């Protein structure tokens, strides 16, 4: 994120993406320069034309010269069209490649990254920034090079007419370049700020849309509206600063060429009067200066675009450079016939930003789940239960110690394989905008109707058959809204349908009523005889589902045994169980 890196090294980072597009981009630059060369040659013909008028040239040469001007004009237009055609298609490919890579990277990044990065920032990087890079590649870069070359050639032409006139033009150009160069430093910072603020604004919109119910329920719609208005005002003032910087540069770029023309007009007339310059050459000089005008003026804008692109590229690589700490092993092992033995060995873990000192959140978890055994995990809120479950599928990575599946360290397995052996369901059930079927079979190898029905049966999700289109009904954000309990049951069905060797459930039944929960539990019991299960429990009834209970306290498993044993031996266990909230009608055994 440093601003100390030079512009060029950052821009060059686009090379690996642009490799395929480079040949056509180079051809595009060549076409652009050719177009400029043609444009610059027209004044030369004009000079011949005017000089032949004054030196009584034949009507035929006149005709052919006029025709030549016309042909050159046509050629210029064709070359401009050719440039556009050359650069447009390949560059769209660059944009989509970058977007795909960014998306893949986002999938690969650990959840700790997503905790840190607001979604709006990622959204603006995936859309706005990449659009900007595309525009720069197809338009900014090509024209910046072509226009710079045009100016150099043009200056040489001007000097060839008259060194005095050429010198005037050159002397006036120098402050323009210096100004453009200075502009570079100021503009880069503001460009970045405005892109960041746009990202924050997108986050604000996203958050308030997601939290619309809460905001409305608490009558705090104006709170988020104010927050948005403030963000929008910030962005506006940054954009205004940006615009005034550009305006400043443009003032230079417009005013100075005007002055140059006036000066050279004066000098030119004197030179013609002295006979040092032909009228034709003077006209050609001004025609050439006119051709050079747009390239000169546009340099400021193209520089601005280049700096915007630099910022966008930097923001792209801010994400791409994030280290992926959780990686697949180079030569992963495989478990062909998983037994479902899960063992935590002296597992330590701490969140990077957590201030528990050197102690850490989990500090030496030892726990063995035998194949087919179901273990309930309980502990006070914030004791690290959810964290412990996330370690089993490497959503988080242990700081030290290890977790072994059938005696193999889970870090020796590819994550995709690991996640076929261990399936999770969370309290916060996320459904995707897809059919019930696709949501449930998301992680399943067996995608038959029978597998679907079985999973729905276990999760007591029979309600889906009453939906308008049964299991093909679209649900999730863009589809039918489901209740919290319905969503939880589908999430549970999803975990069950994956037919994993190990099920990890983080309080997946919290939103169910007692009767439904009892039904789910009795169905789960059948599954759990074959499947190893680690179940985070917030309710006595869930505890009773398990063969044994593990009590998490101060980062360690302080008690492990049957519910009855622990009730007898552990004070803390009795305390935690009594604080679990029984539902009305539920009895603590
Ligand atoms: N992404 C995170 N980054 C930093 N700290 C976190 C993160 N997630 C959780 N924590 C902290 O880690 C501790 C344990 O959280 P965890 O969610 O594992 O608790 P839990 O036992 O599941 O609690 P609950 O019973 O309320 O679900 C808490 O103090 C929490 O603030
Ligand atoms: Mg939790």
CATH number of the domain encompassing residue 419: 3.40.50.300
Instruction: Specify the pLDDT at position 478.
Output: 61
Closest by CA position to 475, among listed 432, 537, 519, 505: 432
Domain assignment of residue 486, yes or no = no
What's the pLDDT band for 70 if we cut at 50, 70, 90?
Answer: very high
Q: Average pLDDT over the chain, rounded to whole?
A: 86
Query: 520 to each of 87, 181, 447, 459, 515, how far by Cα in Å?
Result: 60, 69, 22, 6, 9
Six-digit token pair at 130? 């990449």
Task: Kindly tell me if the per-residue pLDDT of 581 is higher than 80.
Answer: no
- Cα(386) to ligand 1 centroid in Å equals 7
Following DSSP, what letter does each residue of 274-287 receive, concatenated?
TTSS-HHHHHHHHH
Same domain, residue pair 298 and 366: no
C-beta contacts of 261-269 below 8 A and 24+ residues apart:
261/286, 261/289, 263/168, 263/172, 264/165, 264/168, 264/169, 264/289, 267/164, 267/165, 267/168, 268/162, 268/165
- Please count the residues of the chain: 589
Same domain, residue pair 309 and 363: no
Q: Which one of 256, 288, 320 terminates a domain?
A: 320
CA of 349, nearest ligand number: 1
- Cα radius of gyration (the chain): 35
Six-digit token pair at 543? 């505890």
Instruction: Ligand 1, residue 387: give the atom nearest the CA.
Output: 18
Same domain, residue pair 40 and 154: yes
Residues spanned by the domain of 517: 342-429+502-579
Domain assignment of residue 472, yes or no = no
Same domain, residue pair 385 and 279: no
Task: Kindly tell me if the per-residue pLDDT of 430 is higher than 60.
Answer: yes
Instruction: Specify the pLDDT at position 2.
Output: 44
Task: Kindly tell me if the per-residue pLDDT of 480 is higher than 80.
Answer: no
Distance from C-alpha of 434 to C-alpha of 422, rounded to nearest angstrom: 23
CA of 581, nearest ligand number: 1
* pLDDT tens sequence across 527-574: 888 899 999 988 787 788 789 999 999 999 999 999 999 999 999 998
* pLDDT tens sequence across 484-537: 888 888 989 999 998 899 999 988 777 788 788 888 888 888 888 889 999 998
Query: 426 to each of 159, 251, 492, 507, how far by Cα in Å?
Result: 76, 60, 8, 7
Of 50-59, 62-71, 277-286, 380-389, which range is least confident? 50-59
Closest by CA position to 555, among listed 353, 374, 369, 344: 344
Same domain, residue pair 113 and 38: yes
Six-digit token pair at 133? 């890079």
- Cα(385) to ligand 1 centroid in Å equals 8
Q: Which of 386, 509, 576 to mutate to test the pocket of ligand 1 (most atoms within 8 A of CB)?
A: 386
Distance from C-alpha of 240 to C-alpha of 245, rounded to nearest angstrom: 9
* pLDDT tens sequence across 227-276: 889 989 999 999 999 899 888 877 777 788 788 888 888 999 999 999 88
Domain assignment of residue 490, yes or no = no
Same domain, residue pair 132 and 275: yes
Q: Which residue lies with its CA nearest to atom 30 of ligand 1?
A: 382
Instruction: Specify the pLDDT at position 4.
Output: 56
Output 530 or 356, whichever has higher pLDDT. Answer: 530
Domain assignment of residue 240, yes or no = yes
The whole-model pTM stands at 0.71
Looking up tokens 């929960």, which residue turns up? 517
DSSP 477: T
In CATH, what number is assigned to the domain containing residue 28? 1.20.1560.10
* pLDDT tens sequence across 26-37: 999 999 999 999
- Cα(401) to ligand 2 centroid in Å equals 22
CB within 8 Å of 21: residues ≥ 6 apart: 90, 91, 93, 94, 137
Looking up tokens 């040489």, which residue turns up? 156
Q: How many domains does the chain have?
A: 2
Domain assignment of residue 362, yes or no = yes
Query: 381 to each of 300, 361, 387, how far by Cα in Å?
Result: 59, 13, 12
Six-digit token pair at 172? 């006036």
Instruction: Ligand 1, residue 351: give the atom nearest the CA.
Output: 4
Instruction: Specify the pLDDT at position 402.
Output: 96
Task: Kindly tell me if the per-residue pLDDT of 483 is higher than 90.
Answer: no
Domain assignment of residue 326, yes or no = no
Domain assignment of residue 584, yes or no = no
Q: Which residue lies with its CA nearest to atom 29 of ligand 1?
A: 382
Task: Kindly tell me if the per-residue pLDDT of 192 is higher than 80.
Answer: no
What's the pLDDT band for 584 if we cut at 50, 70, 90?
Answer: low
Burial of residue 262 (number of CB atoms within 10 Å: 0-12, 13-18, 19+): exposed
- The answer to whether the CB of 113 falls within 8 A of the CB of 351 is no
Distance from C-alpha of 153 to C-alpha of 160, rounded to nearest angstrom: 11
Distance from C-alpha of 151 to C-alpha of 298, rounded to nearest angstrom: 11
- The answer to whether the CB of 288 falls within 8 A of the CB of 268 is no
Same domain, residue pair 299 and 419: no
- The answer to whether the CB of 512 falls within 8 A of the CB of 520 is yes
Q: Which one of 320, 351, 384 terminates a domain?
A: 320
Among 88-102, 385-399, 505-519, the range of highest mean pLDDT: 385-399
Query: 503 to each of 366, 413, 434, 524, 532, how far by Cα in Å?
Result: 19, 17, 24, 11, 6
Percent of the chain with pLDDT over 90: 36
Same domain, residue pair 563 and 519: yes
Instruction: Specify the pLDDT at position 1.
Output: 44
Distance from C-alpha of 239 to C-alpha of 495, rounded to nearest angstrom: 48
Instruction: Specify the pLDDT at position 356.
Output: 57
Six-digit token pair at 183? 């502009």
Instruction: Ligand 1, residue 507: give the atom nearest the CA.
Output: 27
Looking up tokens 């020796």, which residue turns up? 412
DSSP 589: -
- Cα(361) to ligand 1 centroid in Å equals 9
Closest by CA position to 366, among listed 563, 557, 572: 557
Same domain, residue pair 63 and 131: yes
Looking up tokens 């040092």, which residue turns up? 276
Instruction: Specify the pLDDT at position 585.
Output: 53
Domain assignment of residue 587, yes or no = no
Residues with CB under 6 A from ligand 1: 115, 351, 353-354, 361, 379, 381-387
Same domain, residue pair 307 and 375: no
Same domain, residue pair 126 and 189: yes
Same domain, residue pair 272 and 353: no
The SS3 call for residue 27 is helix
């Amino acid at each position: 994120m440093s601003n100390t890196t030079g512009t060029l090294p950052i821009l060059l980072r686009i090379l690996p993406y642009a490799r395929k597009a480079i040949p056509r981009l180079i051809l595009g630059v060549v076409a652009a320069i050719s177009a400029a060369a043609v444009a610059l040659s027209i004044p030369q013909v004009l000079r011949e034309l005017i000089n032949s008028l004054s030196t009584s040239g034949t009507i035929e040469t006149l005709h052919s010269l006029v025709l030549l001007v016309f042909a050159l004009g046509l050629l210029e237009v064709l070359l401009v069209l050719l440039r556009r055609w050359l650069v447009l298609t390949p560059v769209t490919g660059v944009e989509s490649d970058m977007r795909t890579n960014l998306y893949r990277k986002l999938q690969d990044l650990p959840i700790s990254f997503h905790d840190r990065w607001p979604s709006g920032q990622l959204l603006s990087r995936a859309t706005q920034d990449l659009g900007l890079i595309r525009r720069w590649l197809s338009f900014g870069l090509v024209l910046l090079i072509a226009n710079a070359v045009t100016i150099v050639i043009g200056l040489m032409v001007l000097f060839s007419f008259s060194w005095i006139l050429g010198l005037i033009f050159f002397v006036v150009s120098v402050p323009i370049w210096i100004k453009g160069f200075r502009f570079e430093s100021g503009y880069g910072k503001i460009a970045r700020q405005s892109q960041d603020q746009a990202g924050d604004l997108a986050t604000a919109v996203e958050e308030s849309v997601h939290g619309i119910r809460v905001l409305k329920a608490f009558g705090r719609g104006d709170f988020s509206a104010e927050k948005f208005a403030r963000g929008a005002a910030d962005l506006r003032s940054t954009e205004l600063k940006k615009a005034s910087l550009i305006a400043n540069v443009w003032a230079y770029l417009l005013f100075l060429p005007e002055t140059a023309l006036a000066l050279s007009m004066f000098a030119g007339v004197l030179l013609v009067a002295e006979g040092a310059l032909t009228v034709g050459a003077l006209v050609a000089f001004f025609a050439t200066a006119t051709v050079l005008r747009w390239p000169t003026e546009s340099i400021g804008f193209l520089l601005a675009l280049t700096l915007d692109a630099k910022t966008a590229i930097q923001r792209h690589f801010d994400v791409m450079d994030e280290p992926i700490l959780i990686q697949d092993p180079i030569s992963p092992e495989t478990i062909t016939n998983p037994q479902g033995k899960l063992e935590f060995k002296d597992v330590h873990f701490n969140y990077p930003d957590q201030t528990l000192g050197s102690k850490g959140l989990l500090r030496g978890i030892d726990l063995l789940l035998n194949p087919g055994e179901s273990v309930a995990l309980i502990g006070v809120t914030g004791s690290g239960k959810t964290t412990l479950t996330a370690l089993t599928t490497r959503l988080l990575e242990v700081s030290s110690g290890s977790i072994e599946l059938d005696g193999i360290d889970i870090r020796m397995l590819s994550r995709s394989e690991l996640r076929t052996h261990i399936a999770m369901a969370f309290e916060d059930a996320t459904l995707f905008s897809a059919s019930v079927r696709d949501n449930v079979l998301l992680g399943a190898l067996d995608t038959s109707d029978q597998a679907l029905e079985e999973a729905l049966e276990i999760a007591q999700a029979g309600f889906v058959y009453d939906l308008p289109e049964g299991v093909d009904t679209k649900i999730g954000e863009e589809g039918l809204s489901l209740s919290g309990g319905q969503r939880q049951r589908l999430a549970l069905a999803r975990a069950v349908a994956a037919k994993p060797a190990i099920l990890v459930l983080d309080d997946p039944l919290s939103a169910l009523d007692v009767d439904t929960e009892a039904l789910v539990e009795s169905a789960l019991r059948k599954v759990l005889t074959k499947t190893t299960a680690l179940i985070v429990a917030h309710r006595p009834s869930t505890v009773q589902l398990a063969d044994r209970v593990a009590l998490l306290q101060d980062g360690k498993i302080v008690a492990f045994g049957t519910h009855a044993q622990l009730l007898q031996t552990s004070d803390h266990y009795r305390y935690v169980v009594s604080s679990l909230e029984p539902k009305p009608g539920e009895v603590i055994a």
